[in-house]
Structure 1
């Protein structure tokens, strides 16, 4: 019975399809910007090879690109020196590395020295004896 009910499709209206296409292109052109400022990729490892020994154009001396050196130097820095705030959630951990409270060894609340009791002194002596016996054998 379902096959008996056949709905007819409306024919494609090419004028409306063309209007939709033109509107889409206009929207794309409004938001598109042509990028013409090309540069090097600082994250790609570059290996500088020496030129051919008999070639005159490969032996130019003293030509350094200051911008290139600056970009490479910045790419090799730590993220804390490159950016003012973390770029990802994972960078938030450890971003502020300076201590919140200055370390004062005289303050007993923050400085816990290692203290030896009679038991720890006994075990230190036992371990030293055991090491000496192992070294003799």
Structure 2
């Protein structure tokens, strides 16, 4: 039976490092840093309303004034 790798020898450390450097440079060249995030206009957004009889939505809590004006 033939070897699975097609008879290729494993590259030595120098060649392996060169291949790895080339791969990293290609990956870095094609990466983009996204700094602005928006809603995709092509994807529909389904809003979910609150439950009207839910007990935790109907609790009247007093305002907390200990934090100051901000």
TM-score range, shorter chain: 0.3 to 0.5
Say which one has the larger Rg.
1
Whose helix proportion is higher, 1 or 2?
1
User: What is the TM-score with the length of structure 2 in the denominator?
Assistant: 0.45
TM-score, normalized by length of structure 1? 0.28
